[in-house]
Structure formats: structure tokens, C-alpha cells
Amino acid sequence: MRPADLQHIGDELAIKWEDGSESFIALEKLRRCCPCAGCKGEVDIMGNVYKNPEQTLAPAAFKLTRILNVGTYAVQPVWADGHASGIYSFDYLRAL
């Protein structure tokens, strides 16, 4: 399912889906659920997860500066602290 509209409103990401339903995701949750390898880790062929040490996020980490489209399947948030490597598929956004 694809978003019909996606907007940054206050401290939430508001998504209206093609089926008419709506989702509101807190920006802090969106950032903490970043699916990039630096945040969630990488899995090797043996199934071992390699992850960066946990880091304290500054307030700028939860301020969204823009959202880029990635093809027709995902979006890529750009955060005020410079982090922009997370690609959120529409299915992943819907699950959040």
C-alpha cells in the first residue's frame, strides 16, 4: 500500500494511505526505529548481527528537515543532526 499524502505536522509524520486510512507516527519513534545498518545493525551470512554501540541522541536527532522519495516504494527522512541513511519502505511505515 502506498501513501496518498505524507506530511510533517508538528512532532508527527501524518500519512494518508490509498485506502483512506491514516497513520500518525511520532518523529521520535520514527527516528528510534531507523532501519539503516548504522542504527539497527547488519546481519552476516551466519545470522550474527553487528551493530554500532548505542548512542545518546541529541534533540536535533528528532527534528525532521525533509523527506525524500525513494523510487515508488519508500521514503528517506533527513534529520537535523545530519542523519539520512534510513530508507523506510511503505510497508515498514505502515507497520510502525
Mean pLDDT across 9-17 = 96
> How many domains does the chain fold into?
1
The three grid cell numbers given for residue 90, joined into one nine-digit string:
511503505
Residue 12 has pLDDT above 90, yes or no: yes
Identify the pLDDT of residue 22: 96
23, 30, 78 from 26: Cα distances, Å? 10, 6, 15
pTM of the shown model: 0.89
Mean pLDDT of 63-91: 96
Domain extent for 40: 3-95
**Cα–Cα distance measured from residue 55 to residue 34, given in angstroms and rounded to the nearest whole number:** 13
pLDDT of residue 43: 86
Residues 50-64 pLDDT 10s: 888 888 899 999 999
In this prediction, residue 17 carries a pLDDT of 96
Tell me, what CATH number does 67's domain have? 3.30.2020.30
